[in-house]
Every structure is written in C-alpha cells, then in structure tokens.
Amino acid sequence: MDIDETRLNKVSDNLKRLNLVAELKLGNAMNKLWWNKKLFNLIIADVPCSASGTLKRNPDIKINRRESDIVNFVETQRNIVINLWDMLDTNGFMLYITCSIFKEENQDNIEWFKSNLNDFELIEQFQIIPTEYNDSLFYALIKKR
C-alpha cells in the first residue's frame, strides 16, 4: 500500500519483472478507509522519513531538510504505526523501517512505541550506517503479544 500512485506503479513494474504477485492498494496508512477489517499477521511499515541515510544519492537533502521536517516526520511515523497497530493480529509482527540516520526517527520512536502501544514487544532493532557502498537502514521487528 502506498499513498502515491506513481510509487505503486513502480512496485507493480518490479513485481512483473520478478514474476511475483502481490495485491497493491492505493491508500493512506494514517487512516482505515482502505482496510477490510481483516487482521494482518505481518505488517511492513516502511514509513516516510527524512531520508537522511541516502545523502550520498540525494545531496539536496542536506540543503532542503529543516529541523521542523524531522519533527513532522516523527509525528507522521507515530500516527502510521498507531493506526496500523490496530490492524495487527495478536502474535503478529510489524517491521518498522526507515532510511534515516536520526535517532528521533529510529530508536526514540521505538521507545515511544514501547510506552504508548499495548502489548508491544521489541524483538530486535538494527541500524546500518551509510558507507561509500550503501545507504542507511534502520529496522525494528516488533511483536504484538
């Protein structure tokens, strides 16, 4: 699911190229208008972020990002996860992903989720720091008990 039809079209093209099948949905993860009330066993929440870990490929981020952007991204990330949490079945997993290097969007959010989501269990979190060969990636695997 994505809010942007152009990105969904790219996903569709990649699925075809790889001979894979998936149901794609245009929708906003901050609301439930698209949801059919069926609980998910796994949700991959690749949330919008500052993309600060992709600076090498996107040098304009350094010029265009403001501190207020980070605050807005954190709020959006939290709203998405809170909304999706209701859709996750008991004993289901959520994989939270960003391409940010900022603690606010990563470890701080995981701590916030621990304090604000019922039945939250952190299984693992990991951050890959950007190098000359790769971008940054943060992920946290979360279980709903």
Catalytic residue among 74, 80, 81, 99: 99
State residue 39's pLDDT score: 97
What architecture is the 39-144 domain classified under in CATH?
3-Layer(aba) Sandwich (3.40)
Residue (of 7, 49, 8) closest to 136 by Cα position: 49
Spatial neighbors of 10 by CB under 8 A, at least 6 apart, are none
State residue 61's pLDDT score: 86
CA distance 17 to 53: 27
Q: Please report, to the nearest 10 degrees, the dihedral formed by the alpha carbons of residues 10, 11, 14, 18 taken in order.
A: -170
State residue 117's pLDDT score: 97
Going by pLDDT thresholds of 50, 70 and 90, the confidence category of residue 44 is very high
What is the value of pTM for the model shown?
Answer: 0.90
- 99 is annotated as an active-site residue: yes
Question: Is residue 111 over pLDDT 90?
Answer: yes
State residue 60's pLDDT score: 87
- Given the structure tokens 């990991």, which residue do they identify? 126
Mean pLDDT over 12-41 rounds to 94
CA distance 45 to 61: 22
What sign for the dihedral angle of Cα 33, 36, 40, 43?
A: negative
Helix residue spans in 18-145 (DSSP H): 60-64, 67-85, 107-116
- Do 7 and 32 touch, CB atoms closer than 8 A? no
Mean pLDDT over 43-59 rounds to 92
| Mean residue pLDDT across the chain | 95
pLDDT digits (tens, 9 = 90+) for 52-110: 999 888 888 888 888 889 999 999 999 999 999 999 999 999 999 999 999 999 999 99
> Which sequence spans correspond to the domains of the chain?
1-27, 39-144
Residue (of 49, 13, 7) closest to 27 by Cα position: 7
Mean pLDDT over 38-65 rounds to 91
Neighbour count for residue 34 (Cβ, 10 Å): 11
